[in-house]
Amino acid sequence: MAENSLYSDPALISVYDALNAGREDIDYYLSQLPNMPQRVLDIGCGTGRFALELAARGHDVCGVDPAPGMVAFAREKPGADLIEWYVGRCCVVPKSRPFDFIFMTGHAFQCLLSDQDISRLYAEVVARLAPDGVFFAESRNPAVKAWERWCPQNAGPTVALAEGRSVQVTHEVTSVRDELVRFVETYRFAPEGTELCSESCLRFSAKDQLEALAQQVGLGVRHLSGGWDGQVFEEASSPEIILGLQFHN
The total domain count for the chain is 2
Residues 73 and 176 in one domain: no
Residues 80 and 131 in one domain: yes
Residues 81 and 35 in one domain: yes
Residues 121 and 180 in one domain: no
Residues 89 and 174 in one domain: no
Residues 121 and 16 in one domain: yes
pLDDT at 90 exceeding the cut of 60: yes
Q: Which residues contact 95 (CB under 8 A, 6 or more apart)?
A: 127, 128
CA 215 – CA 91 distance, rounded (Å) = 20
Mean of the per-residue pLDDT values of the chain: 94
Residues 85 and 133 in one domain: yes
H helices present in the chain, as ranges: 10-13, 16-19, 24-31, 49-56, 68-75, 115-126, 207-215
Domain CATH number, residue 83: 3.40.50.150
Residues 89 and 12 in one domain: yes
Residues 88 and 37 in one domain: yes
- Residue 221 to residues 19, 40, 62, 235, 240: CA-CA distances in angstroms? 31, 19, 24, 16, 15
- Which pTM does this prediction carry? 0.94
DSSP, res 151: S
Q: Choose among 96, 66, 65: nearest CA to 83.
A: 65
Which of 6-15, 187-196, 217-226 has the highest average model confidence (pLDDT)? Answer: 217-226
Residues 121 and 70 in one domain: yes
Residues 66 and 182 in one domain: no
- Residues 155-213 have pLDDT tens digits of 889 999 988 999 999 999 999 999 999 999 999 999 999 999 889 999 999 999 999 99
Residues 153 and 125 in one domain: no
Average pLDDT estimate for 107-114: 96
Structural domain range at position 194? 144-203
At residue 7, the pLDDT reads 67
